[in-house]
């Protein structure tokens, strides 16, 4: 399997992020990952720990199909991990010792080539689950995860997951069903990554960000409520920053997008969707 096809398959299995945010002025970090300052020691929940959600995780999660009571019980005794902005949760190749649910904050999921080029796979926020593949196969992490801003996570070890799943076999049935559905989407995802021109890739990236962070401010205009740099857009679209700059400048002239104080605004969603079509 080529690197591009492996990356696409990883993204399909993880699914698109389901994020709901209030306004934030913090820029997204695009620095390279290191293990300096890695916060790995879970702490047992105390009085200052945010209450765990009683709702199920977003539909993109491999655990999303679990009945609500099972999901709540699964993470009931999870330990708490805190990360500062730019701290690394884990790096591709690390041991897959469990998964995490985001309680608060924002994480960035990335892959980095040997030359140091970063590809952003997703931004994950509250209720998102990260690291699920490793609790199923026990293999090393397939991607790296770093905190964009201060984050609080709940950690569920692979041993705890297996013990719970053995007592509730329906967990495995749910995971198999969702994995099969995700794999059926691989062909169309590979096609989009293989055949879309550069403009189409940038359009897809902006539309995904608008879905995750956008707010309709009237007259069909959608403001992306996160400060996204061109480097971040390039890393998500998998193209050179210079190409992103050229495409955005053209779209600004054509009034498809605009930018004010670091926030992108989609002025013509229909036209961007047209650009994103195969």
* pLDDT exceeds 50 at position 133: yes
Q: Are strands 88-90 and 257-260 parallel, antiparallel or unpaired?
A: unpaired
pLDDT, one tens digit per residue, over 266-277 is: 999 999 999 888
Orientation of helix 186-195 relative to helix 3-14, angle to 10°: 130
Query: pTM of the predicted model, to two decimals?
Result: 0.66
Q: Give the pLDDT of residue 213.
A: 77
CATH code of the region 3-187: 2.60.120.10
Q: How confident is the model at residue 187 (pLDDT cuts 50, 70, 90)?
A: low
Q: pLDDT > 90: what percent of the chain?
A: 37
CATH 1.10.10.10 in the chain, residues? 196-275
Q: Give the pLDDT of residue 256.
A: 95
Residue 106 C-alpha from the chain's centroid: 9
Q: How confident is the model at residue 189 (pLDDT cuts 50, 70, 90)?
A: low
CATH 2.60.120.10 in the chain, residues? 3-187
pLDDT, one tens digit per residue, over 61-111 is: 677 667 888 888 999 889 999 999 999 999 999 999 999 999 999 899 998
What class is the 196-275 domain? mainly alpha
Q: Give the pLDDT of residue 192.
A: 63
pLDDT, one tens digit per residue, over 26-36 is: 333 333 334 33
* pLDDT exceeds 70 at position 41: no
Q: pLDDT > 70: what percent of the chain?
A: 73
Strand partners, 76: none
pLDDT, one tens digit per residue, over 204-258 is: 889 988 887 788 998 889 999 877 889 989 988 888 999 999 999 999 999 999 9
* pLDDT exceeds 90 at position 60: no
């Amino acid at each position: 399997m080529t690197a591009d096809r492996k990356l696409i398959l990883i993204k399909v299995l993880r699914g698109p992020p389901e994020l709901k945010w209030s306004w934030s002025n913090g820029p997204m970090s695009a620095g390279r990952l290191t293990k300096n300052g890695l916060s790995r020691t879970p702490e047992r929940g105390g009085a200052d720990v945010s209450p765990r959600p009683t709702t199920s995780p977003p539909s993109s999660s491999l655990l999303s199909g679990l009945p609500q009571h099972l999901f709540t019980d699964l993470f009931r005794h999870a330990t708490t991990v805190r990360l500062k902005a730019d701290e690394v949760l884990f790096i591709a190749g690390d041991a897959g010792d469990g998964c995490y649910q985001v309680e608060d904050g924002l994480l960035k999921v990335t892959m980095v080539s040997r030359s140091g080029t970063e590809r952003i796979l997703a931004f994950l926020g509250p209720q998102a689950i990260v690291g699920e593949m490793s609790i199923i196969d026990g293999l090393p992490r397939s991607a790296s995860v770093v905190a964009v801003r201060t984050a609080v996570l709940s950690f569920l070890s692979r041993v705890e997951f297996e013990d719970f799943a053995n007592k509730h076999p329906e967990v495995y049935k749910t995971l198999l069903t969702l994995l099969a559905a995700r794999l059926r989407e691989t062909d169309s995802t590979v096609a989009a990554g293989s055949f879309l021109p550069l403009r189409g890739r940038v359009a897809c990236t902006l539309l995904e960000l608008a879905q995750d962070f956008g707010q309709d401010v009237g007259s069909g205009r959608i403001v992306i409520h996160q400060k996204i740099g061109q480097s971040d857009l390039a890393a998500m679209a998998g193209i050179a920053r210079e190409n992103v700059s050229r495409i955005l400048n053209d779209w600004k002239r054509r009034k498809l997008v605009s930018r004010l104080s670091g926030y992108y605004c989609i002025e013509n969603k229909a036209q961007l969707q047209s650009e994103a079509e195969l």
